[in-house]
């Protein structure tokens, strides 16, 4: 038996270098690798852009490598929490403001006040007196888009809007298409009807209100009374209809402008959602943006590299490049005065819409509100629930959901 | 099995074929739809046409998947992991199952119940602890953690299948060999294992499919684009709002074809391998 | 693809396989040394045969189970993420909460449980259709049998994620084939995504499509092993088709079907992919226990609560299975 043991030990010592070769050595002061998780995907070219930024940055700073990994928004949050629990979190996050609530509550990210000069940027995520994120892009808001083949001028009020949409709906052609079942598409109208998802304190849900009721009734009437939208339409359907010229108007976000410019060319028209005739108020889409978050456990030796990369991405040059390539509004104030915005009617329309937008709540409680609105909105739009029932259920679900978080 | 003397009358045959053809259509149509989407040109993925081959069919999506994405790399990574883990899983299961089939040792029934119990653990329950375990041993961002996890995860079902099959092989075979002086393990290797081929094939197939399709664990364990397995690669084609459906469908077709071929090839054992142990009629 | 990346997979995987092999050999040798030389136990060979598999399973499943039990006695959530408190009181509170408060936002435990039962009962559809198809395929002298079987088995062979995503897009109101077909025959389309009842039906349809082949293959194996003599004897007595089915086929198929139905029940009860991909966690009215668990743990980050929830689901399924085993004797052939 001893022979076998000796043989095994010899074998083990021979093979040891084999496996050790694959292992990563500890980081010294020399080369630094920054792992960056981004929510940017391939389909709109944003991931490729992030990758090219990382490569350019490494070309300038030879001993810093940026490893880019794309994760879908929800997966990014889940996996970041799990990784932080195990102490293997990435070094930098590039994601949406929704994450600020959970991450600050759990103590997973650190304030950025010491990293950057926050006054150079547009309004960022501020909670408990600290700034928690560095803006990369601002906006992320919904707006009204139209195809010039059918619409020469965007409607000013909802009455005009409905009349126009009705006149355009015939055959396999729809006056309006949007993502019917998503709360994010309901939010602008809630603002237009003088409502808000939270009370003054910013954490108590106020969904069982006349404003919400009117909003639901309005959205419901678009489909059932006026028949101007498809019977069921998710994001992909609305997107396809608009691209194929089968929907005259569309409500979609700034992230999609690039794609429509390509599909419709000069026929694309962008501007504010029409004033709600009943209240005389503009709909207020949620504005947020895309941000850098810095994990709380970032090792000290990586701090300067992370800081340099953030500064690089939010430099005026790169920000203008983003504006030109991806049609996203910059997070750096200096880049907002770019002539690219002034001279481009599409970007001007987007800015006009953003001006009447309202910052999306970033508190943890917002998650419960989203998940409370979505199923009831779907039910109302499916015709299986009245708006009156829906608002009650929404409120109850939101209260329960918030209680569950604690 | 003996041939049965009489055959069905013609009208019964007609009904049987009609029923089977209907069932086949229902079965295959959704799969053909994937092919349809993969053949559509990129700008009109959505259509109310039911034609299986679209009039303007194109292979552009296949080209995009093969040459613009890391499709081949994803496939390669998956293949290496899957083959390795299926072989390990099979060796672990075949030896354990043999012991459970041939010896009545203390704790045997508890073991069988334990194996059944493993099938009942909700997958969501395992994610966080497994990640923590992997992080403790430095297995994140490597294939090592996945190889270990996948090797064992199909073992319970494989033991189940193999044990049933061993049970149907009479012990007299081994006893005869052992009288001739062969050792127990020699008999197992030389006589029993070759007889078990159908069940081994099935167990291999299960191990293979199990690791080949796994997604949730791979997502958190492999946070590096170059290391993706195909389910992660396919996932990366889906954006927050927009999905590259054409490329997605084309990739899906190319991934499914080899697995389906393997499955159909081994289906000649499938029927016997799965049920041998339980039928004594 | 560059060669270095290709070699990474090969190198790492073969390295791991090598070390696992070394590890197992070490275990084997030590069991052999202790069991055979020191204890002189006659079950040493058995221990050597079963240990590797069970060590692996222990690592993969027992540690997570212990972890979940400990976690169930904590107040861990986003507010207590870094330093959760562990106490008996927290544990009791977590377990109590499963039954007294909504497990998600508006649904409580009992409705989700009942829905899960309803969802699981589809296994009987899998089994009866599987059996029916198997009996059709098993008719003597059937032509094209292999072609039919190859096609009917496809849903099982397809990667499940791909099938699930395909079905999801086919439940699109405008562009999915079920609605297009309905429209062509003059019926209005169904709102598969938004309507609670239809959404659940969509989930079941998908899973029935996926689940029938397994049962069909099992049944076919069973049918083929029934000796033809039984039927010949019955023919001589002039028995009808139905009598033969009742008195020969069913009783003889029971030992084959009972364990498979049990596995089917366990797998369906725990099926995460189909509800997750079809419903996309939108409608709470479509959640079954395991998807509700996933949401509680990952969407709402209620770690302590969801650990307790997971243990309850596990215990429930385990006791249900034991009752089933007692009732049908599904394990008789396995344990003796």
* Cβ contacts of A15 on chain C, cutoff 8 Å: 15, 18-19, 22
Q: Are residues C152 and C267 in the same domain?
A: yes
DSSP annotation of A26 reads P
* Cβ contacts of C173 on chain B, cutoff 8 Å: none
More confident: A293 or C146: A293
* Cβ contacts of B235 on chain A, cutoff 8 Å: 72
pLDDT for the residue B44? 59
Q: Are residues B174 and B119 in the same domain?
A: yes
CATH for C281: 1.10.3720.10
ipTM: 0.87
For residue A19, give the nearest of C15, C174, C298 by CB distance: C15
Residue B242 pLDDT grade (very low, low, confident, very high; cuts 50, 70, 90) = low
Token code pair at residue B6:
């009489």
Mean of pLDDT over chain C: 89
A–B CB contacts, 8 A cutoff, strictly below: 77
Mean of pLDDT over chain A: 89
pLDDT for the residue A52? 95
- For the cut 70, the answer to whether the pLDDT of residue B280 exceeds it is no
CB contact under 8 A, C18 and A18: yes
| Nearest residue on chain C to A376, alpha-carbon basis | C283
Q: Ramachandran region of residue A283, left (φ > 0), alpha (ψ -120 to 50) or beta?
A: beta
Residue A8 pLDDT grade (very low, low, confident, very high; cuts 50, 70, 90) = very low
Interatomic CA distance for residues B94 and A147, integer angstroms: 65
Last residue of a domain, one of B29, B58, B87: B58
DSSP annotation of C329 reads -
* Cβ contacts of C173 on chain A, cutoff 8 Å: 230-233, 237
Cβ A274 vs Cβ A157: under 8 Å: yes
pLDDT (mean) for A128-151: 93
Cβ A109 vs Cβ A305: under 8 Å: no
pLDDT for the residue C333? 61
Token code pair at residue A227:
């028949």
Cβ A211 vs Cβ A263: under 8 Å: no
Token code pair at residue C14:
């073969």
| Nearest residue on chain B to C152, alpha-carbon basis | B24
Interatomic CA distance for residues B122 and B131, integer angstroms: 16
* Cβ contacts of A375 on chain C, cutoff 8 Å: 282-285
Residue C117 pLDDT grade (very low, low, confident, very high; cuts 50, 70, 90) = very high
Token code pair at residue A41:
């995907």
Q: Are residues B15 and B121 in the same domain?
A: no
Interatomic CA distance for residues C276 and C289, integer angstroms: 11
pLDDT for the residue A92? 97
What is the percent of chain C where pLDDT is above 90?
44
Residue C203 pLDDT grade (very low, low, confident, very high; cuts 50, 70, 90) = very high
Q: Looking at CA atoms only, how far is residue B78 from chain A in angstroms?
A: 18
Instruction: Tell me whether A368 touches chain C (CB under 8 Å).
Output: yes
For residue B93, give the nearest of C53, C143, C166 by CB distance: C53
Q: Are residues B176 and B269 in the same domain?
A: yes
SS3 category, C55: helix
Q: Give the Cα-Cα-Cα angle B28, B246, C281 (nearest 5 degrees).
A: 75
A–C CB contacts, 8 A cutoff, strictly below: 128
Interface test with A, best of C105, C292, C307 (most A CBs within 10 A): C105
- For the cut 80, the answer to whether the pLDDT of residue C6 exceeds it is no
Q: Are residues B20 and B94 in the same domain?
A: no
Instruction: Tell me whether C245 touches chain B (CB under 8 Å).
Output: no
* Cβ contacts of B148 on chain A, cutoff 8 Å: none
Q: Where in chain A is the domain with CATH 3.40.190.10?
A: 32-139+288-355, 152-284+364-405
- Bridge partners (DSSP) of residue A126 are A131
Token code pair at residue C221:
């194996």
Angle between helices C63-72 and B123-136 (to 10 degrees): 110
Q: Are residues B53 and B81 in the same domain?
A: no
Q: Torsions phi, psi of A93, nearest 5?
A: -120, 145
Q: Torsions phi, psi of B265, nearest 5?
A: -60, -40
Instruction: Tell me whether A83 touches chain B (CB under 8 Å).
Output: yes
Domain with residues A32-139+288-355, CATH architecture = 3-Layer(aba) Sandwich (3.40)
Which has the closest alpha carbon to B238: A232, C9, A186, C277?
Answer: C277
- For the cut 60, the answer to whether the pLDDT of residue A253 exceeds it is yes
pLDDT for the residue B177? 84
- Bridge partners (DSSP) of residue A288 are A139
Q: Ramachandran region of residue C71, left (φ > 0), alpha (ψ -120 to 50) or beta?
A: alpha
- The number of folded domains in chain C is 2
State the DSSP H helix or E strand holding residue A252, giving kind and residue range, or none if neither. Answer: strand A247-253
B149 contact partners, CB below 8 Å, separation of at least 6: B130, B217, C60
Interatomic CA distance for residues C295 and C25, integer angstroms: 42
Per-residue pLDDT of B153-167, as tens digits, reads: 889 989 988 888 888
Burial class (CB in 10 A: 0-12, 13-18, 19+), B251: buried
Q: Are residues B256 and B120 in the same domain?
A: yes
Interface test with A, best of C194, C202, C280, C295 (most A CBs within 10 A): C194
SS3 category, A147: strand
Q: Looking at CA atoms only, how far is residue B153 from chain C in angstroms?
A: 7
- The number of folded domains in chain B is 2
B–C CB contacts, 8 A cutoff, strictly below: 309
Which has the closest alpha carbon to A282: A341, A366, A382, A194?
Answer: A194
CB contact under 8 A, C285 and A375: yes
Token code pair at residue B168:
């149907």
pLDDT for the residue B3? 45
Per-residue pLDDT of B93-146, as tens digits, reads: 999 999 998 888 888 888 888 898 888 988 888 888 999 989 988 888 889 889
Q: Are residues C154 and C7 in the same domain?
A: no
CATH for B178: 1.10.3720.10
**Enclosing domain of residue B21:** 1-58
* Cβ contacts of C196 on chain A, cutoff 8 Å: 379, 384
Q: Give the Cα-Cα-Cα angle A147, A148, A150 (nearest 5 degrees).
A: 80
Subunits close to B (at least 3 CB pairs below 8 A): A, C
DSSP-derived pairing of the beta strands A32-38 and A64-70: parallel
DSSP annotation of B24 reads H
Which has the closest alpha carbon to B251: B100, B67, B44?
Answer: B67
- For the cut 90, the answer to whether the pLDDT of residue A302 exceeds it is yes
Interatomic CA distance for residues A130 and A112, integer angstroms: 8
Burial class (CB in 10 A: 0-12, 13-18, 19+), A379: buried
Interatomic CA distance for residues C13 and C36, integer angstroms: 34
CB contact under 8 A, B131 and A86: yes
Token code pair at residue C42:
């006659």
- Taking the CA atoms of residue A90, residue A94, residue A97 and residue A100 in that order, the dihedral angle to the nearest 10 degrees is 20
Q: Are residues B137 and B220 in the same domain?
A: yes
* Cβ contacts of A236 on chain B, cutoff 8 Å: 46, 242-243
pLDDT for the residue A237? 86
- For the cut 90, the answer to whether the pLDDT of residue B197 exceeds it is no
Whether C269 is in a domain gets the answer yes
- For the cut 80, the answer to whether the pLDDT of residue B214 exceeds it is yes
Cβ C224 vs Cβ B271: under 8 Å: yes
Lowest mean pLDDT among A158-162, C287-291, C332-336: C332-336
SS3 category, C182: helix
Residue A17 pLDDT grade (very low, low, confident, very high; cuts 50, 70, 90) = very low
- For the cut 60, the answer to whether the pLDDT of residue C272 exceeds it is yes
What is the percent of chain A where pLDDT is above 70?
93
Per-residue pLDDT of A54-74, as tens digits, reads: 999 999 999 999 999 999 888
Lowest mean pLDDT among A307-316, C143-152, C232-241: C232-241
Q: Are residues C29 and C115 in the same domain?
A: no
Q: Are residues B149 and B255 in the same domain?
A: yes
Interatomic CA distance for residues C312 and C309, integer angstroms: 5
pLDDT (mean) for A121-135: 90
Q: Are residues C214 and C317 in the same domain?
A: yes
Q: Which of A249-253, B64-68, C276-280, C295-299 has the highest mean pLDDT?
A: A249-253
In the CATH scheme, what is the code of domain A152-284+364-405? 3.40.190.10
Cα separations (Å) of B224 from A16, A59, B71, B217, C3? 25, 20, 15, 14, 17
**Enclosing domain of residue C51:** 1-62
Residue B265 pLDDT grade (very low, low, confident, very high; cuts 50, 70, 90) = confident
pLDDT for the residue A43? 75
Instruction: Tell me whether C323 touches chain B (CB under 8 Å).
Output: no
Per-residue pLDDT of A24-57, as tens digits, reads: 433 445 799 999 999 988 877 889 999 999 999 9
Q: Torsions phi, psi of C106, nearest 5?
A: -130, -20
Per-residue pLDDT of C11-65, as tens digits, reads: 888 888 888 889 888 988 888 888 877 777 778 888 888 899 998 898 888 889 9
| Nearest residue on chain C to B27, alpha-carbon basis | C152
- Taking the CA atoms of residue C245, residue C249, residue C255 and residue C260 in that order, the dihedral angle to the nearest 10 degrees is -70
CB contact under 8 A, C11 and A22: yes
Whether C250 is in a domain gets the answer no
- Bridge partners (DSSP) of residue A287 are A359
Token code pair at residue B31:
């799969």
Last residue of a domain, one of C62, C86, C101: C62
Angle between helices C160-170 and C196-225 (to 10 degrees): 140
Q: Are residues B50 and B71 in the same domain?
A: no
State the DSSP H helix or E strand holding residue A288, giving kind and residue range, or none if neither. Answer: strand A286-293
A221 contact partners, CB below 8 Å, separation of at least 6: none
- For the cut 60, the answer to whether the pLDDT of residue B278 exceeds it is no
């Amino acid at each position: 038996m001893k022979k076998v043991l000796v043989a095994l030990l010899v074998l083990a010592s021979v093979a040891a270098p084999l496996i050790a070769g694959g292992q990563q050595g500890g980081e010294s002061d020399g080369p630094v690798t920054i792992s960056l998780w981004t929510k940017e995907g391939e389909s709109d070219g944003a991931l490729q852009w992030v990758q090219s930024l990382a490569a350019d940055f490494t070309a300038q700073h030879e001993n810093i490598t940026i490893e880019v990994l794309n994760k879908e928004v929800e997966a990014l949050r889940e996996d970041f929490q799990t990784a932080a629990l195990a102490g293997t979190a990435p070094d930098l996050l590039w994601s949406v403001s929704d994450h600020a609530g959970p991450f600050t509550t759990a103590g997973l990210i650190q304030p950025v006040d010491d990293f950057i000069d926050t006054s150079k940027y547009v309004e960022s995520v501020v909670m408990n007196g600290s700034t928690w994120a560095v803006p990369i892009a601002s906006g992320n808001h919904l707006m009204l888009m139209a195809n010039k083949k059918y619409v020469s001028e965007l409607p000013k009020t909802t009455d005009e809007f409905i009349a126009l949409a009705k006149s355009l709906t015939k055959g396999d052609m729809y006056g309006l298409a949007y993502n019917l079942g998503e709360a994010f598409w309901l939010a602008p109208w809630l603002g237009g009807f003088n409502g808000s998802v939270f009370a003054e304190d910013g954490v108590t849900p106020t969904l069982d209100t006349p404003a919400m009721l009117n909003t639901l009734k309005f959205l419901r009437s678009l489909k059932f009374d006026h028949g101007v939208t498809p019977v069921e339409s998710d994001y992909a359907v609305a997107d396809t209809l608009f691209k194929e010229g089968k929907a005259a108007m569309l409500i979609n976000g700034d992230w999609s402008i690039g794609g429509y410019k390509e599909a419709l060319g000069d026929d694309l028209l962008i501007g504010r959602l029409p004033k709600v005739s009943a209240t005389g108020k503009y709909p207020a889409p949620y504005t947020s943006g895309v941000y850098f978050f810095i994990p709380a456990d970032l090792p000290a030796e990586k701090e300067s590299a992370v800081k340099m990369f953030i500064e690089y991405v939010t430099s005026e040059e790169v920000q203008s490049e983003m504006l030109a390539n991806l049609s996203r509004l910059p997070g750096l104030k200096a880049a907002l005065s770019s002539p690219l915005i002034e001279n481009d009617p599409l970007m001007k329309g987007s800015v006009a819409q953003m001006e009447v937008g309202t910052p999306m709540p970033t508190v943890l409680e917002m998650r419960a509100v989203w998940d409370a609105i979505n199923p009831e909105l779907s039910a109302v739009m499916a015709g299986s629930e009245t708006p009156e029932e829906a608002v009650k259920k929404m409120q109850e679900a939101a209260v329960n959901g918030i209680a569950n978080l604690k | 099995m003996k041939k049965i003397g009489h055959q069905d009358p013609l009208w019964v045959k007609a009904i049987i074929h009609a029923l089977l053809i209907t069932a086949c259509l229902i079965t295959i149509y959704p799969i053909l739809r994937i092919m349809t989407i993969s053949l559509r040109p990129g700008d009109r993925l959505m259509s109310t046409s039911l034609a299986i081959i679209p009039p303007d069919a194109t292979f552009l999506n296949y080209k995009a998947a093969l040459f613009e994405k890391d499709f081949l790399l994803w496939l390669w990574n998956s293949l290496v992991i899957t083959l390795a883990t299926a072989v390990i899983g099979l060796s672990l299961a075949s030896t354990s199952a043999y012991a459970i089939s041939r010896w009545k040792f203390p704790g045997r029934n508890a073991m069988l119940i334990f194996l059944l119990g493993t099938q009942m653990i909700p997958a969501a329950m395992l994610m966080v602890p497994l990640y923590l375990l992997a992080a403790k041993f430095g297995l994140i961002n490597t294939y090592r953690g996945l190889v270990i996890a996948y090797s064992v995860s199909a073992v319970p079902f494989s033991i189940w299948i193999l044990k049933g099959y061993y049970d149907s092989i009479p012990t007299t075979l081994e006893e005869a060999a052992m009288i001739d002086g062969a050792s127990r393990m020699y008999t197992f290797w030389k006589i029993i294992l070759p007889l078990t081929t159908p069940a081994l094939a099935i167990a291999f197939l299960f191990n293979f499919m199990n690791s080949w399709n796994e997604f949730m664990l791979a997502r958190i364990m492999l946070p590096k684009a170059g290391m993706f397995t195909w389910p992660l690669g396919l996932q990366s084609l889906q954006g927050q709002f927009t999905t590259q459906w054409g490329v997605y469908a084309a990739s899906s077709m190319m991934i499914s074809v080899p697995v389906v071929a393997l499955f159909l090839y081994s289906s000649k054992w499938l029927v016997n391998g799965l049920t041998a142990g339980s039928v004594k009629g | 693809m560059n060669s270095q990346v290709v070699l990474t997979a090969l190198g790492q995987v073969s390295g791991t396989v090598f070390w696992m092999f070394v590890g197992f050999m070490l275990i084997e040798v030590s069991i052999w040394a202790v069991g055979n030389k020191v204890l002189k136990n006659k079950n040493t060979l058995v221990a050597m045969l079963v240990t590797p598999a069970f060590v692996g399973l222990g690592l993969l499943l027992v540690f997570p189970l212990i972890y979940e039990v400990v976690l169930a006695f904590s107040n861990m959530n986003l507010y207590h993420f870094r330093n959760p408190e562990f106490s008996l009181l927290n544990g009791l509170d977590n377990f109590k909460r499963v039954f007294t408060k909504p497990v998600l936002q508006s649904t409580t435990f009992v409705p989700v449980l009942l829905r899960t039962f309803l969802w699981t009962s589809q296994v009987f559809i899998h089994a009866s259709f599987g059996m029916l198809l198997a009996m059709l395929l098993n008719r003597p002298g059937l032509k094209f049998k292999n072609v039919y079987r190859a096609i009917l088995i496809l849903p099982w062979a397809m990667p499940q994620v791909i099938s699930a995503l395909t079905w999801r897009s086919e439940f699109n109101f405008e562009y999915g084939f079920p609605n297009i077909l309905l429209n062509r025959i003059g019926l209005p389309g169904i709102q598969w995504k938004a309507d609670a009842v239809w959404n659940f039906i969509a989930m079941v349809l998908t899973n029935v499509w996926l689940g029938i082949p397994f049962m069909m293959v099992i049944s076919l194996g069973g049918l083929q092993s029934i000796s033809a003599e039984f039927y010949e004897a019955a023919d001589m007595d002039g028995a009808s088709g139905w009598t033969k089915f009742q008195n020969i086929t069913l009783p003889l198929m029971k030992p084959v079907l009972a364990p498979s139905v049990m596995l089917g029940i366990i797998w369906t009860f725990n099926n995460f992919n189909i509800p997750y991909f079809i419903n996309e966690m939108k409608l709470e009215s479509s959640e079954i226990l395991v998807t509700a668990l996933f949401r509680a743990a990952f969407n709402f980050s209620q770690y302590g609560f969801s650990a307790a929830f997971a243990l309850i689901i596990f215990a429930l399924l385990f006791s249900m299975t034991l009752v089933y085993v007692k009732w049908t004797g599904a394990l008789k052939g396995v344990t003796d």
